[in-house]
Amino acid sequence: MEKGPELFGEFHEEVLGKEPVPVEYDPLLQQLESTAETREDETLTEQLETLKEDCIRYIETILRLAVFSKRLSYDPERYRESVQNIDELRRRTHNVVIDDVNMISRAFLKRGLDNRWREQFSSRESIEEWAIHIALGTLSRELIPEAAAA
Amino acid sequence: MISNITIQALEYVTALATVYLDPRNKEKIKARDTLFTQLKERVPNKSDQEIRSWALGVTQGFLTKD
């Protein structure tokens, strides 16, 4: 099941008292990028870059939805309208990420490369989870030099 | 209920994503930096890099329940 606005209320632990799990660059993405780089395959490299951007666009909408849910909860009318709009955008960006993953999988197959990695993403939820790891790992690598070196 | 510090971390990471997608937009960069300053006030005992890493980790925990 996808994360809807009603689920965001479940995250309620005190975050200051404990360290979160560190964000790491996604290992499968790294492997796919390495394959594209070794082959000097510009098309595949561009498709992977597009996937990263679309994953970031996707989590941006999820996070905006979460923040709006919190910030506008005092104003039911504005809340309903804003959340509906962002939720629709979230659904669309999720579909774009799924299209990206399918395109990359087909590109691997077309080149005679192993595309069995696609089998682990059999549901929308599993692609959502991967998209979150790709997006946060990419942002982390941009911001934190140690993550880039990993 | 989500704590305010979590919301601040989520807002900051949202701004990071926004700037990644539109890196030359000065207003978005300014908004990101303002959110970072506000977050820093809430977590004064951490370095800038630690705060960035912490905010990303909190967001990961929120989104994936890791």
- Give me the CATH number covering residue A48: 1.10.287
Average pLDDT (A36-63) is: 97
Nearest to B11 among A19, A67, A142 (CB): A67
Per-residue pLDDT at A90: 92
Residues of A in contact with B61 (CB under 8 A): 11, 15, 20-21
Distance CA B52, CA A85 (A): 29
Q: What is the share, in percent, of chain A residues with pLDDT greater than 90?
A: 63
| In the predicted structure, residue A38 carries a pLDDT above the cut 70 | yes
In a domain, A108, yes or no: yes
> What H or E segment, with its residue span, contains residue B62?
helix B48-64
Distance CA A110, CA A10 (A): 43
In a domain, A85, yes or no: yes
Average pLDDT (A92-116) is: 97
In a domain, A14, yes or no: no
Show the 3-state SS of chain A. Answer: CCCCHHHHHHCCCCCCCCCCCCCCCCHHHHHHHHHHHHCCCHHHHHHHHHHHHHHHHHHHHHHHHHHHHHHCCCCHHHHHHHHHHHHHHHHHHHHHHHHHHHHHHHHHHHCCCCCHHHHHCCCHHHHHHHHHHHHHHHHHHHHCHHHHHC
Per-residue pLDDT at A145: 64
Distance CA B51, CA A58 (A): 23
Residues of A in contact with B59 (CB under 8 A): 59, 63, 136
Per-residue pLDDT at A20: 84
In a domain, A71, yes or no: yes
In a domain, A61, yes or no: yes
Contact B60 A67 (CB under 8 A): no
Backbone angles phi, psi at A30, to 5 degrees: -60, -40
Q: What is the pLDDT of residues A41-50, one digit of tens each?
A: 999 999 999 9
Distance CA A86, CA A93 (A): 10
Residues of A in contact with B17 (CB under 8 A): 56-57, 59-60, 63, 135, 139
Residues of chain B scoring pLDDT < 50: none
Does ipTM top 0.85? yes
Q: Which pair of tokens denotes residue A14?
A: 């005190």
- Cα Rg of chain B, angstroms: 12
Contact B56 A139 (CB under 8 A): yes
Contact A139, A129 (CB under 8 A): no
Distance CA A8, CA A147 (A): 28
- Between A146 and A45, the more confident residue is A45
Contact A3 B63 (CB under 8 A): yes
Contact A66 B52 (CB under 8 A): no
Per-residue pLDDT at A99: 98
- pLDDT band at A117; cut points 50, 70, 90: very high
Per-residue pLDDT at B55: 94
Contact A125, A1 (CB under 8 A): yes
Nearest to B10 among A21, A66, A140 (CB): A66
Q: What is the pLDDT of residues A4-13, one digit of tens each?
A: 433 344 444 4
Per-residue pLDDT at B32: 97
| CA distance to partner chain B, nearest, from residue A36 (Å) | 23
Range of the domain at A113: 41-149
Average pLDDT (A131-140) is: 97
Q: Which residue of A has its CA nearest to B6?
A: A15
Domains of chain A: total:
1
Q: What is the mean pLDDT of chain A?
A: 85
Per-residue pLDDT at A16: 52
Label residue A38 exposed, middle or buried (CB < 10 Å: 0-12, 13-18, 19+): exposed
